[in-house]
């Protein structure tokens, strides 16, 4: 505003009233017609009767429009007055574009306008005192030439600003021919305007310090109509390279929303660097300082990297990256967004029941937790050692290294102690006692102690499930890829984690415990309630009594590592983090492995500490919910058990007037096939695809396929039960 109070913008121009100078020697109807028109158009109006008064007034107010009476040459010489006004105008504004209208007599209409144009008039108005004619003339002038003149004045102001700017500014046309550089540019770069204007940018020597592809990057950015900003080394005339913080803005011509209309566009380069004491320099360096003092979270780094990449990316990439940033800024990165409620209610209930902790809490419905004190090992007759396992039990475990091993045979043969027996056999196969330097008797007591704390009254989450997960874990540990990735301590951790992973499970979901305000939910702040409890209790049971402390002989650091791995795996079985674990596995392991051509660096991917953690989490997760990948008969049995446990929960919720977490699991209405289909669709398929891609499990995928078809078949026959009715 310091340079010009005018505005090229029409809306604003309309608000600022224009000013008109009328030079009429005598008041007559024409004079009055213009006066009235000015009033109606809301123009400020001055009237001068003599050339002297006109010049005086103009010097003071420099009007937007001067209308000079040319009808009576006996009063004054309109043409010379116009020239004088123009002269003043030129001194005031630096360029000649005053708006002079000459008012002439009708009989002069045929005469040439040339003399008038030469003296500086832009327009001739033939005498017409009709007020509407005067008004219309003013409006046309305003919308046409006055506006154009305002724009010119605004340009003038902007160029004045450019001249005064402390920042180096360079303007090129579309073909990169330099149109303008400002004085700051001249003094920073050491060139004179004249040496640069008209030259193509490519003709000006470049610094070699820039990356070779930088110019191409910049140009492709500009071509896309995007601004580029970054560090650029410019070469001064004297040959010195100077590092500059450069911003390059493509200027698209008026109405140039389309790229093909960019003819005559200008590129404005603004270089913000002016010696060492320039204020902009200071601003930048102080910003940098603030930045480096901040502790950046990895996600902040990621966002910064993407922002920087966006700067130099083609439009579609930049737009895609915008979308990426939007997603990255949300807090729940791994929770899939379920659509509307129209979705399958089975999926909704499973997700609601398994993936939320249900922070709703009703008062007065205290759920009494089933086992406050850990159970002591029962004094069932236990085998003294592996060799003492009764032959009929041993027989059921003969093929425990096969995926098709039938755990239910073991369950019936061993008086509900499948975990202890299978544990003894598997742990010995993996040399766990040797690794832990613990006597087999300790392991036996430990297994008994853990198994005793599984609730045999739960129809699903009893020690048979733990034994089943242990079996799957052991099976996965023998897969080639898994063996390449894990060390023995990881194997031991995985086997122990599988054994303890649901210990003291109350047969109710986390959501239920939270809703019921159970002691555990309160203890663990409604967060991973059960999984925290399983992990914590496992270590309590283990370390409380030397007789069953399998960790007693471990070296401290090794124990800590092992303990950490066990806790991590048990917590990974929590379903609220399901998609996080699966996605991390896919992104960090599956994708990099798939991208590898030769097998040279596979080892690096497989054995990095971070990836080993991801493998272990995925392993125990898959083992934990591998039921749909078991042979059909086993799969059906497990489906019956989990449904029964959920039904029992719904029954209790109704009895206690608690919110029903999974309404589809109502024993009166539930379609077990539908619930299995939803569970497989939502949780199983993607996870096992990823796990199969890693560990190579064609037999599991075949079972999964069969089982899915089985449930589909029942559902298509509108059957709700586990099995088709007998023929
Ligand atoms: C687990 O529950 C089932 C009933 O669903 C039962 O038949 C089985 O014996 C239980 N297993 C153990 C070890 O308690
Ligand atoms: C639960 O929250 C309280 C209060 O924030 C905190 O002091 C406590 O450590 C939390 N407990 C757990 C197990 O996270
Ligand atoms: C890749 O694997 C093949 C067989 O699995 C092996 O013969 C070859 O030496 C391996 N190449 C590298 C670079 O490790």
Residue in 596, 599, 600 to alter for ligand 3 test, most ligand atoms within 8 A of Cβ: 599
Burial 106-128 (b: 16+ CB within 10 A, else e): eebeeeeeeebeebbbbbbbebb
Tokens of 260: 């093909």
Stretch 71-93: mean pLDDT, rounded? 74
Q: Tokens 């002691």, residue?
A: 519
Q: Tokens 């310090």, residue?
A: 209
Say how many Å lie between the CA of residue 462 and the centre of ligand 1: 6
| pLDDT value, residue 483 | 96
| Burial class of 546 by CB neighbour count within 10 A (0 to 12, 13 to 18, 19+) | exposed
pTM exceeds 0.95 for this model: no
Half-sphere exposure of 252 (CA within 13 A, CB side): 14
Q: H helices within 373-461, ranges in order?
A: 391-396, 407-413, 418-429, 432-436, 440-452
Domain 165-266+281-295: assigned CATH number: 3.30.450.20
Considering every ligand atom, which ligand is closest to the CA of 642?
Answer: 1
Stretch 95-120: mean pLDDT, rounded? 71
8 A C-beta contact, residue 397 and residue 421: yes
Ligand 3 atom closest to the Cα of residue 598 is 13
8 A C-beta contact, residue 697 and residue 481: no
Ligand 2 atom closest to the Cα of residue 525 is 1
Stretch 187-211: mean pLDDT, rounded? 84
Render pLDDT for 124-134 as a digit per residue (tens, 0 to 9). Answer: 888 888 888 88
Say how many Å lie between the CA of residue 484 and the centre of ligand 3: 14
Say how many Å lie between the CA of residue 598 and the centre of ligand 3: 8
Pairing, β 99-104 against β 65-69: parallel
| pLDDT value, residue 474 | 98
247's enclosing H/E stretch is: strand 241-251
DSSP secondary-structure letter at 9?
-
SS (H, E, C) 675-704: HHHHHHHHHHHHHHHHHHHHHCCHHHHHHH
| pLDDT value, residue 265 | 32
- The lowest-confidence range among 90-104, 194-208, 370-384 is 370-384
Say how many Å lie between the CA of residue 560 and the centre of ligand 2: 23
Measured distance CA(620)–CA(48) in Å, rounded: 97
Measured distance CA(184)–CA(353) in Å, rounded: 67
Is the Cβ atom of 239 under 6 angstroms away from ligand 3? no
Angle between helices 609-624 and 556-572 (to 10 degrees): 50
Angle between helices 672-679 and 345-355 (to 10 degrees): 60
- The lowest-confidence range among 43-47, 248-252, 656-660 is 248-252
- Residue closest via CA to ligand 3's atom 13 equals 600
DSSP secondary-structure letter at 483?
H
- Residue closest via CA to ligand 1's atom 4 equals 459
Considering every ligand atom, which ligand is closest to the CA of 602?
Answer: 3
Measured distance CA(392)–CA(398) in Å, rounded: 10
Percent above pLDDT 90 for the chain? 40
3-state helix, strand, coil in the chain (%, to 5): 55, 10, 35
319 phi and psi, to 5 degrees? Answer: -70, -40
| 204 has a pLDDT exceeding 80 | yes
Pocket of ligand 1 from Cβ distances under 6 Å: 411, 416, 418, 456, 459, 462-464, 641
Residue in 420, 447, 456 to alter for ligand 1 test, most ligand atoms within 8 A of Cβ: 456
| 490 has a pLDDT exceeding 60 | yes
Strands ordered across the beta sheet of 123-126: 44-48, 19-23, 65-69, 99-104, 123-126
Stretch 686-692: mean pLDDT, rounded? 95
pLDDT band at 228 (very low <50, low <70, confident <90, very high): confident
CB atoms under 10 Å from CB of 157, counted, come to: 18
| pLDDT value, residue 290 | 31
| pLDDT value, residue 296 | 56
Whether 277 has a binding-site annotation, put simply, is: no
| 256 has a pLDDT exceeding 90 | no
| Among 218, 210, 268, residue whose Cα is nearest residue 242 | 210
Say how many Å lie between the CA of residue 333 and the centre of ligand 1: 38
Whether 715 has a binding-site annotation, put simply, is: no
Q: Tokens 């154009």, residue?
A: 148
User: Could you say which architecture CATH assigns to the domain 347-716?
Assistant: Orthogonal Bundle (1.10)
Ligand 1 atom closest to the Cα of residue 459 is 5
User: Where is pLDDT greater, at 383 or 81?
Assistant: 81
| pLDDT value, residue 294 | 39
pLDDT band at 670 (very low <50, low <70, confident <90, very high): very high
487's enclosing H/E stretch is: none
Measured distance CA(241)–CA(447) in Å, rounded: 73
- Residue closest via CA to ligand 2's atom 11 equals 524
- Residue closest via CA to ligand 1's atom 14 equals 456
Considering every ligand atom, which ligand is closest to the CA of 420?
Answer: 1
- Residue closest via CA to ligand 3's atom 12 equals 600
What lies within 8 Å, CB to CB, of 381 at 6+ separation is: none
- The lowest-confidence range among 17-26, 75-84, 364-373 is 364-373
- The lowest-confidence range among 78-82, 296-300, 554-558, 614-618 is 296-300
Render pLDDT for 509-539 as a digit per residue (tens, 0 to 9). Answer: 999 999 999 999 999 999 999 999 999 999 9
Whether 348 has a binding-site annotation, put simply, is: no
- Give the end-to-end CA distance of the chain in Å, rounded to a whole number: 93
Give the 3-state secondary structure of residue 437: coil
Is the Cβ atom of 599 under 6 angstroms away from ligand 3? yes
Measured distance CA(717)–CA(710) in Å, rounded: 11
User: Where is pLDDT greater, at 327 or 427?
Assistant: 427
Measured distance CA(341)–CA(316) in Å, rounded: 33
Say how many Å lie between the CA of residue 492 and the centre of ligand 1: 26
CATH superfamily of 3-162: Response regulator (3.40.50.2300)
Cα 260 to Cα 77, 253, 655, distances in angstroms: 51, 10, 72
CA angle 10-12-16, nearest 5°? Answer: 110
| 366 has a pLDDT exceeding 50 | no
Tokens of 345: 């209610």
Is the Cβ atom of 600 under 6 angstroms away from ligand 3? yes
Residue in 359, 518, 525 to alter for ligand 2 test, most ligand atoms within 8 A of Cβ: 525
| pLDDT value, residue 95 | 52
Is the Cβ atom of 373 under 6 angstroms away from ligand 3? no
Stretch 85-107: mean pLDDT, rounded? 66
Ligand 2 atom closest to the Cα of residue 523 is 13
Stretch 622-650: mean pLDDT, rounded? 97
**Sequence-separated contacts (24+) of 293-300 with Cβ below 8 Å:** 299/328
| pLDDT value, residue 360 | 30
| pLDDT value, residue 597 | 60
DSSP secondary-structure letter at 374?
P
Tokens of 235: 């070469």
Bridge partners of 243, per DSSP, are 233
| Burial class of 348 by CB neighbour count within 10 A (0 to 12, 13 to 18, 19+) | buried
| pLDDT value, residue 524 | 96
Domain ranges of the chain: 3-162, 165-266+281-295, 299-328, 347-716
| Burial class of 519 by CB neighbour count within 10 A (0 to 12, 13 to 18, 19+) | middle
Is the Cβ atom of 525 under 6 angstroms away from ligand 2? yes
User: Where is pLDDT greater, at 404 or 590?
Assistant: 404
- Rounded to the nearest integer, the mean pLDDT of the chain is 81
- Residue closest via CA to ligand 1's atom 10 equals 456
Ligand 2 atom closest to the Cα of residue 532 is 13
| pLDDT value, residue 336 | 62
pLDDT band at 281 (very low <50, low <70, confident <90, very high): very low
Is the Cβ atom of 598 under 6 angstroms away from ligand 3? yes
Whether 676 has a binding-site annotation, put simply, is: yes
pLDDT band at 340 (very low <50, low <70, confident <90, very high): very low
Whether 464 has a binding-site annotation, put simply, is: yes
Cα 356 to Cα 252, 577, 655, distances in angstroms: 51, 10, 22
Measured distance CA(710)–CA(638) in Å, rounded: 14
Considering every ligand atom, which ligand is closest to the CA of 419?
Answer: 1
Measured distance CA(60)–CA(104) in Å, rounded: 26
Measured distance CA(248)–CA(261) in Å, rounded: 20
Burial 555-568 (b: 16+ CB within 10 A, else e): eeeeeeebbebbbb
Stretch 268-295: mean pLDDT, rounded? 37
Ligand 1 atom closest to the Cα of residue 464 is 13
Strands ordered across the beta sheet of 178-181: 178-181, 168-173, 266-272, 241-251, 228-235
Measured distance CA(448)–CA(435) in Å, rounded: 20
CA angle 447-453-457, nearest 5°? Answer: 120
Q: Write the DSSP assignment of 600-661 as a string of letters.
A: TTHHHHHHSHHHHHHHHHHHHHHHHT-GGGS-HHHHHHHHHHHHHHHHHHHHHHHHTT---S
Tokens of 277: 């004491």
Is the Cβ atom of 480 under 6 angstroms away from ligand 3? no
Measured distance CA(573)–CA(129) in Å, rounded: 93
Measured distance CA(169)–CA(95) in Å, rounded: 23
User: Where is pLDDT greater, at 356 or 603?
Assistant: 603
Annotated catalytic residue, options 346, 455, 461, 533: 461
What lies within 8 Å, CB to CB, of 36 at 6+ separation is: 131, 134, 135
Say how many Å lie between the CA of residue 464 and the centre of ligand 1: 6
Render pLDDT for 423-454 as a digit per residue (tens, 0 to 9). Answer: 999 999 999 999 999 999 999 999 999 999 99
Percent above pLDDT 70 for the chain? 82
Rg of the chain in Å (alpha carbons): 43
Render pLDDT for 540-559 as a digit per residue (tens, 0 to 9). Answer: 999 999 999 999 999 999 99
117's enclosing H/E stretch is: helix 114-119
Write down the number of H helices and E strands in the chain.
Answer: 34, 10
Ligand 1 atom closest to the Cα of residue 417 is 13
- Is residue 533 annotated as a catalytic residue, yes or no? no
| pLDDT value, residue 6 | 35
Stretch 42-50: mean pLDDT, rounded? 89
| 266 has a pLDDT exceeding 70 | no
Say how many Å lie between the CA of residue 398 and the centre of ligand 1: 21
Say how many Å lie between the CA of residue 214 and the centre of ligand 2: 52
Measured distance CA(528)–CA(700) in Å, rounded: 29
350 phi and psi, to 5 degrees? Answer: -65, -45
């Amino acid at each position: 505003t310091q340079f010009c109070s005018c505005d090229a913008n029409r809306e604003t121009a309309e608000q600022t009233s224009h000013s008109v100078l009328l030079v009429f020697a005598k008041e007559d109807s024409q004079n009055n017609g213009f006066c009235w028109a000015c009033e109606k158009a809301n123009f400020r109006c001055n009237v001068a009767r003599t050339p002297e008064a006109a010049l005086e007034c103009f010097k003071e107010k420099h009007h937007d429009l001067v209308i000079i009476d040319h009808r009576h040459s006996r009063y004054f010489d309109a043409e010379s007055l116009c020239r004088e006004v123009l002269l003043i105008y030129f001194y005031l504004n630096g360029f000649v574009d005053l708006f002079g209208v000459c008012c002439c007599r009708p009989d002069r209409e045929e005469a040439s306008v040339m003399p008038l144009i030469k003296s500086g008039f832009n327009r001739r108005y033939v005498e017409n005192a009709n007020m509407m004619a005067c008004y219309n003339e003013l409006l046309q002038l305003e919308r046409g030439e006055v506006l154009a003149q305002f724009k010119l004045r605004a340009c003038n102001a902007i160029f004045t600003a450019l001249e005064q700017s402390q920042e180096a500014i360079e303007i090129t046309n579309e073909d990169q021919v330099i149109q303008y550089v400002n004085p700051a540019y001249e003094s920073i770069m050491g060139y004179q305007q004249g040496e640069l204007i008209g030259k193509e940018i490519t003709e000006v020597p470049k610094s070699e310090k820039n990356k070779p592809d930088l110019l191409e990057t910049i140009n492709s950015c500009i071509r896309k109509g995007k601004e580029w900003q970054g560090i650029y080394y410019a070469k001064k005339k004297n040959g010195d390279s100077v590092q500059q913080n450069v911003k390059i803005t493509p200027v698209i011509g008026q109405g140039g929303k389309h790229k093909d209309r960019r003819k005559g566009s200008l590129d404005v380069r603004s270089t913000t660097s002016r010696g060492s004491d320039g204020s902009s320099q200071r601003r930048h360096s102080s910003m940098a300082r603030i930045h480096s003092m901040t502790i950046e979270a990895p996600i902040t780094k990621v966002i910064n990297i993407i922002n920087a990449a966006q700067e130099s990316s083609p439009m579609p990439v930049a737009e895609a990256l915008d979308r990426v940033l939007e997603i990255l800024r949300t807090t729940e990165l791994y929770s899939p967004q379920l659509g509307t409620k129209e979705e399958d209610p089975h999926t909704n209930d499973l997700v609601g029941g398994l993936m939320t902790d249900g922070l709703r809490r009703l008062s007065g419905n205290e759920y009494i937790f089933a086992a406050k004190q850990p159970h002591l090992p029962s004094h069932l007759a236990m085998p003294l050692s592996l060799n003492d396992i009764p032959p009929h039990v041993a027989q059921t475990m003969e093929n425990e290294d096969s995926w098709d091993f039938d755990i239910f045979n073991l369950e019936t043969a061993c008086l509900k102690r499948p975990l202890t027996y299978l544990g003894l056999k598997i742990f010995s196969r993996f040399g766990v006692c040797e690794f832990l330097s613990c006597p087999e008797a300790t392991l036996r007591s430990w297994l008994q102690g853990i198994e005793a704390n599984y609730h045999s009254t739960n129809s699903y989450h009893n020690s048979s499930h733990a034994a089943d997960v242990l079996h799957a874990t052991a099976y996965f540990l023998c897969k080639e890829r898994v063996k390449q990735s894990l060390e023995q301590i990881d194997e031991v951790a995985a086997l122990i984690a599988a054994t303890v992973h649901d210990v003291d499970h109350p047969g109710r979901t986390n959501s239920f415990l939270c809703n019921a305000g159970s002691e555990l939910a309160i203890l663990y702040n409604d967060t991973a309630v059960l999984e925290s409890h399983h992990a914590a209790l496992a270590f309590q049971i283990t370390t409380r009594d030397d007789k069953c402390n399998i960790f007693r002989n471990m070296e401290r650091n090794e124990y800590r590592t092992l303990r950490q791995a066990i806790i991590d795996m048990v917590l990974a079985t929590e379903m609220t983090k399901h998609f996080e674990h699966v996605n991390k596995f896919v992104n960090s392991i599956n994708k990099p492995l798939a991208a590898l051509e030769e097998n040279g660096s596979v080892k690096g991917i497989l054995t990095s500490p971070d990836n080993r953690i991801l493998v272990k989490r995925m392993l125990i997760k898959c083992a934990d919910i591998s039921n749909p990948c078991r042979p059909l008969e086993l799969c059906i049995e497990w489906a019956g058990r989990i449904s029964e446990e959920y039904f029992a929960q719904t029954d209790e919720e109704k009895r206690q007037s608690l919110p029903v977490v999974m309404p589809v699991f109502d024993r009166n209405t539930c379609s077990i096939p539908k619930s299995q289909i939803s569970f497989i669709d939502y949780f199983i398929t993607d996870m096992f695809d990823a796990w199969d891609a890693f560990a190579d499990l064609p037999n599991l995928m075949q079972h999964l396929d069969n089982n899915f078809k089985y449930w589909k078949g029942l559902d298509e026959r509108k059957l709700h039960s586990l099995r088709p009715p007998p023929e």
